[in-house]
Amino acid sequence: MKNITVLAVDDIEANRISLQYLIDEYIDNVELLLASSGEDALKITYTNDVDIIILDIQMPRQDGISYLKEVMKSRPTPVVICSSVAVEGSKDAVEALFLGATEVIHKPRMDVEEFFQESRAVIVNAIKSAYSAKKNVKNLKSLVIEKKENPDVILPCCKRKVSLATEKIIAIGASTGGVQAIEEVLKTFSPKTPGTVIVQHMPSGFTSSFANRLNSICDIQVKEACDGDEISVGFAYVAPGDKHLLIHRNEEKYYIEIKDGPKVSRHKPSVDVMFRSVANEAGRNAVGVILTGMGDDGAIGMKELRDSGAKTIAQDEKTSVVFGMPKEAIALGGIDFITPLEEIGKKILEVIK
């Protein structure tokens, strides 16, 4: 019996064959389905229980971006982009991530077979991570999922005594579908809104483009977070795609620390790490928000935030692209309010007072 169903979508037969060989060689218990266009892939998606999609972008009849839009509307699924046009920071790659792709891998136009062999660890780990995020897998025979670390490997749970006079702070975590959700929330903020820290699961090289896009459409200032940034009113800080974001307090001011280290809850940046640091440093002066996403990153941190006196909000199931992270946080007892996406901005501003 197959444990994982992978759909590979690529218009070049040699690429599909190379990918099939790679998966057969390095991952057991996989059923690999193949499609040469987005149109063919849609038919397969609607008639099979697909766990992960590996998707090219440039294809005939229906391109990868159009297909991705359809999938995320009807059957949200972890998608790994593997394409020659998916260069770091490129328009196509950024759009794919905005639509909900979990990872982007740049595939060269030449020597593709060699590329698949050289990049096998990246591709195999992307498949495993996407599957573990969707299924919340702990033990699966013949499939070694990377060890799931908790926030202790980055910082201890050690809450500081805080005064109500300390500045307020907002912390937002999200994954699949979160790009659009974060955009909708931040567009409700004014320049008088307390400083906001954000973790969106996104590969390295793309968080800067994400922050710049938000900055261009929001009334607040949005930037990719840098080590030592003072968290200011009317600003939002997006964690870099390959580092953890923590906060520290000095008197009544908060400052950002960007820290390397292992993945936590299978992610870097990790929502759990950010939430724990906010619980430690801000406590009841914080509002924690967990939005749509696969897996359970953020559940531990939300419980710690609520225990520290912070107010906590989860996006509801109806408006979530994937009701994974909010659901796990609710199940752990870390949520005060379960709120539709369109009302979350208003709820944040209401409870921050």
3 state SS for 233-282? CCEEEECCCCCEEEEEEECCEEEEEEECCCCECCECCCHHHHHHHHHHHC
Cβ-based neighbours of 214, under 8 Å, separated by 6 or more = 182, 183, 186, 222, 236, 238
Cα(124)–Cα(121) distance, integer angstroms? 5
**Which residues are known to be catalytic?**
175, 201, 297
Whether the CB-CB separation of 143 and 29 falls below 8 Å is answered with yes
Cα(116)–Cα(162) distance, integer angstroms? 52
Reply yes or no: is the peptide bond before residue 76 cis, omega within 30 of 0: no
Cβ-based neighbours of 152, under 8 Å, separated by 6 or more = none
> How do the residues of the chain divide into helix, strand and coil, expressed in percent and rounded to 5?
35, 20, 40
Residue 276's alpha-carbon distances to 144, 215, 227, 245, 345, in angstroms, are 28, 26, 18, 10, 22
Helix, strand or coil, per DSSP, at residue 108: coil
